[in-house]
Each structure stands twice: as C-alpha cells, then as structure tokens.
Amino acid sequence: MTEVIFEVSEDEVDGGYSASALGHGIHTQGESVEEIRSNVKEAVDCCFDDTMKRPKLIRLRFVRDEVLVA
C-alpha cells in the first residue's frame, strides 16, 4: 500500500471536520483544517504498527455538499 485516502467533511451544524479512511476503519475529528491534518496523521500512526507496511502518502479528499432549492 502506498497511500491511504481520507474523506473529510465539514459539520455544517456544529462546525469542525470529520475524516474517515476509505477501506480502513480509521476515523477522526478536528475543529480546524490544521487540527484534522494532525489528527489524521496521528490516527494513521496508531493504526499501522511496526509489523505492518505503512502508507507512504496520506491523501485528504475534502467533500462539500451543496443543496439547492428546486
């Protein structure tokens, strides 16, 4: 595995961000973009120990929903 991909979404009601890794059971939250970046790195470090092949890249995909009134 060369990378792990996270979908990051903003909580429109409470603020902050949540991130979930695609294909892995890794989830985290943060109040700002800087905090979500730091928390994602920490979550990946916790998930992949020394006996596992660690990803070389962490990709963040920011998802933004837009709702239009019909």
69 within domain boundaries = no
Q: Say what the pLDDT of residue 12 is.
A: 80
57 within domain boundaries = yes
Query: E strands, the chain, where?
Result: 3-10, 17-21, 27-30, 57-63
58 within domain boundaries = yes
Rounded Cα–Cα distance for residues 70 and 51 (Å):
53
Per-block mean pLDDT, blocks of 10 residues, the chain (70 long): 92 90 95 97 91 92 88
Rounded Cα–Cα distance for residues 34 and 23 (Å):
24
70 within domain boundaries = no
Q: Say what the pLDDT of residue 28 is.
A: 97
Range of the domain at 9: 3-63
* Phi-psi region at 13: left, alpha or beta (left = phi > 0; alpha = psi -120 to 50): alpha
68 within domain boundaries = no
Q: How many domains does the chain have?
A: 1
